[in-house]
Amino acid sequence: MYEIAVLILSVLVNTVLGLSVYIKNPTRDLNRLFFLLTLSLSAWLIVTYFSIHPSILSQLAWVRLVLSAASVLCFFVLASFAVFPEGEIKYLRFARPAFYYMLFVVALTQTPFVFKSLTYDSAGNAQPVVAPGIAIFMLLALSYLGGAVFLLIRKYRHARGRIKNQLRIVIFGVAASFAAILFANLFLVSLFKNTSLISFSPLLTLILTGSMAYAILKHKLFDLRLAIARAMAYLLTFGLVVLIYAVIAYLIGELFPFGSNSLSTGQRVFYVGLAVATAVAFQPLKKFFDRNTNRIFYKDAYEPRYVIDKLNGILVGNIQLEPMLVNSAKAVADEIKLVGCGFAIKGRQKDPSQYDFLGSLKAGKEDTLTKLVNSPELRHKNYLITDEISLANTAIRNSLVELDCAAIFKLTTHKTQVGYMIVGNKKSGNILSDLDKNVLSIISDELAIAVENALRFEEIQQFNVTLQQKIEESTRELRRVNQRLRELDKTKDEFISMASHQLRTPLTSVKGYLSMVLEGDTGKITKTQKDYTQKAFDGAQKMVYLIADMLNVSRLQTGKFVIENKPTDLAQVVEGEVSQLESTAAEHQIKLEYHKPDKFPVLNLDETKIRQVVMNFVDNAIYYTPAGGSVTVELDSSESEAKFSVTDTGLGVPASVQHHLFSKFYRADNARKVRPDGTGLGLFMAKKVITAQGGAVIFRSTEGKGSTFGFSFPRATTEIKDKKTPSDREIRQQEVEKSKTPA
């Protein structure tokens, strides 16, 4: 009876394990071959049992099937460990010959060429009569199993770390289990005709399955913790419930023996109540075992959503790259229970092949990290897992092991790759599970975007710093140049002031004497002489005004511009300037009109400077009005103000440049074409003179239709009542006397 129990248990364990591995990843060669290995092992166990307890077929047929199943089993052992642990077939050139040879041996074992017949000893045990073909079977068994062990040992010699531990466990399990099986099923039977240990063969296979289970639990050769943990929890719960039920029932039966074989009503009620109580206890016991098995199998457990939420909080709260990555590395390592986490970030160095390494995995190993992140294996993959790297890639595997690194993930956005996240091994010694890989992939995607934003922020900051430095340098240069310009401007003002003063004195004398000649102080002159003298006087007057403008500008720069107010008859001043410009207007075929008021208040103004403003406005109107146009000069007053204006039908000022019109040395393009000899000082000084005396400038203009220039003064602050004003003759004599004094 124990033989069938051992058989069922062995077949069940092997089949469930193989099926679970296959379901985990049905596309992987190693998973498929491991599943076929467990099926062939289960088939071998079944036919071995029936070779001892024959049914349906003859015992000789079952014995021959044992050799056939063993041949298939040996082939899948060789194939499975040829791809372990890489998961890919690398020895394809040996696979087909080995498979064909296995098929040949399977067919051969069904003939008398291997086992001729069976003989029975005195105890009734069957003894096969071997034939020469047994050597062919033994060659297959020894070469395939020996080749499998050779491949494992060869891989073991080149492996490191966790892979080496996995290989060590599997080599031990294979060697121990198949040595025992060959000894019990081949050598004892063939050499000593002893079949007494054949019935224990299923137990011998548990050495292999036990070693594989240990590798799964300890080193997570396959990620089957959930199935194992839940299976153990259910088995422990079920076993404990059955044990409690059996013990209680046994004790009750011993303490309260029943006299008859049939159960009374009370007994039935008791057993029903006991069953109900046991059923009620099942769920609490199950929770207890679930909790404890989780503690054993899920000591690395964590809540992915909590990890991602915590990381998001760090990314939102930091824009500086280094604090953000250092805090992120610590959070990832702490929450996923890693020995460390680090980052390799590019884009911060002038050399694009150089990386900045941040986090807890640097530890003076920048050279190893640089080789790792520049390795060709990472060019076409989003991540590398140390335990999944082929043993042939010795260089990159050694780099990862040297860094105690479990994986490396690319930090890539839809635009570019910004670096790598280097993940340390689990503190528990376990490999990364599928859950870990998924969570770390999500984290790497979020970090990639955050790193790219932080790098752009650094670029902006660096640009601001560089820009600020350039601005400061340019500002210093501008200050130096400006200082030089001030010195040059001061020299220019001093020269203009000196030259203007020296020119003004003789011009004022010329103007004064010409005025005396015109007024007949030197005797009667002819009409022709008067015309020529008048033109000379007008030219001298313009020169005086120009020199006065330059002197005033110079005085403005040096702070010596002074307004000398006195009672002024503005109506007489305007009339005098208009009369002087009548000949000029006639020459330009311009109609010049002056609307003199009958009564106009005496104002407290700087007559010399306001006269210059009046002359400038009227003179400009004449010069900038085409032939046939008109210039109208008006002077009027109201209760609140006195106003002077000059309206022409000339060029007008373009609207786009009107705001520049009263600037120093500025002239509109259309005005520059009509009068190239202008200085651009007249309107500038006019505004200064008007505003300095408390007045306001009047200006209106439409390009192509004409302009209006003028000024207004409030009567409340400028009007003088009952004050006699000097005559023009007195004014000219005062000017002659003033010209003799230094400016």
The per-residue pLDDT for range 242-297, each reduced to its tens digit, is 566 666 665 666 565 555 555 556 655 666 566 666 666 666 766 665 566 555 55
pLDDT given at position 16: 76
Q: How many whole angstroms separate alpha carbon 396 and alpha carbon 376?
A: 9
Are 469 and 335 in contact by the 8 Å Cβ rule? The answer is no
Phi and psi dihedrals of 301, rounded to 5? -65, 145
Tell me whether the omega of the peptide bond preceding residue 601 falls within 30 degrees of 0, making it cis.
no
Q: How many whole angstroms separate alpha carbon 32 and alpha carbon 714?
A: 107
Count other Cβ atoms within 10 Å, centred on residue 710: 23
Are 732 and 515 in contact by the 8 Å Cβ rule? The answer is yes
- Its pTM stands at 0.39
- CA-nearest of 202, 147, 149 to 172 is 149
pLDDT average per 10 residues of sequence, the chain (743 residues): 70 76 70 83 84 78 88 87 68 75 90 84 72 89 86 78 70 75 70 63 67 53 48 56 62 58 58 64 64 57 83 84 86 85 73 65 62 68 73 65 78 79 78 82 87 83 82 89 83 69 75 82 84 82 73 66 85 90 88 90 90 89 91 92 93 87 79 73 84 91 92 91 57 55 45
316's tokens: 């939102």
What confidence tens digit (pLDDT) does each residue in 627-663 have?
999 999 999 998 899 999 999 999 898 988 888 888 8
pLDDT given at position 743: 43
Q: How many whole angstroms separate alpha carbon 271 and alpha carbon 277?
A: 10
- SS3 state of residue 624: coil
- CA-nearest of 562, 719, 703, 689 to 614 is 689
pLDDT given at position 560: 65
264's tokens: 């009374």
Parallel, antiparallel or unpaired: strands 630-637 and 591-595: parallel
Residue with tokens 């460390």: 340
